[in-house]
Amino acid sequence: MRHNKKFNHLGRTKAHREAMLSNMATSLIMHKRIATTVAKAKALRVYVEPIITRSKNDNLHSRRMVFSELQNKEAVKELFGVVSDKVANRPGGYTRILRTGYRLGDNAAMCIIELVDFNEAMLGESKKAAPQKRTRRSRKSSAAPAETAAPTEA
């Protein structure tokens, strides 16, 4: 029976899988967006979201727990500095997976996984949703000075 065996092993041993997810999480935190396969991105989302949630509480214990997962001082510093400030009021769902098509060599489903609050293009679209006021240009206003200028010269 398969009770409680939902985790995708990604065709790797436990040590290899944990090292890969740790490295991918570090890259995601440092670069805010990485390209990978859909299966790896789904596994990474399950791995990295609790780490980001832990970064909201900035104390020594949280930093040590995150460092034990990531093993990278710069990533921990970036996570507890820049990233935790942006996600402070978000109740979860820190990552977004955008499918990009299929890889040419083996036809694997590819995607981009990114931190939600760091995509300026998507944030800009949500703020631009309200229609901006436009000014209308009329021919009357530009033609009127030309007509008034002609009679004065004659």
Does some domain include residue 57?
Answer: yes
For 27-71, how does the pLDDT look when each residue is reduced to its tens digit (9 = 90+)? 999 999 999 999 999 999 999 999 999 999 999 999 999 999 999
The answer on pLDDT for 81 being more than 90 is yes
Encoded tokens for 111: 């995607």
Strand order in the sheet with 109-115: 33-37, 109-115, 95-102
Q: Which of 1-5, 42-46, 124-128 has the lowest mean pLDDT?
A: 124-128
Does some domain include residue 9?
Answer: no
Q: Which domain holds residue 69?
A: 14-120
For 101-122, how does the pLDDT look when each residue is reduced to its tens digit (9 = 90+)? 999 999 999 999 999 999 888 7
How much is the pLDDT for 144?
A: 57
Does some domain include residue 29?
Answer: yes
Q: How many domains is the chain built from? A: 1
Does some domain include residue 126?
Answer: no
How much is the pLDDT for 127?
A: 58
Does some domain include residue 134?
Answer: no
How much is the pLDDT for 140?
A: 74
Residue ranges of alpha helices (H) inside the chain are 14-31, 38-55, 60-70, 73-78, 84-86, 120-127, 139-153
CATH number of the structural domain spanning residue 100: 3.90.1030.10
How much is the pLDDT for 130?
A: 55
Does some domain include residue 146?
Answer: no
The pTM score is 0.77
Alpha-carbon distance of 38 to 61, in angstroms, equals 32
How much is the pLDDT for 52?
A: 97
> Can you tell me the mean pLDDT for 7-34?
96
Does some domain include residue 89?
Answer: yes
Does some domain include residue 8?
Answer: no
The rounded percent of the chain whose pLDDT value lies above 70 is 84
Dihedral of CA 56/49/37/20: which sign? positive
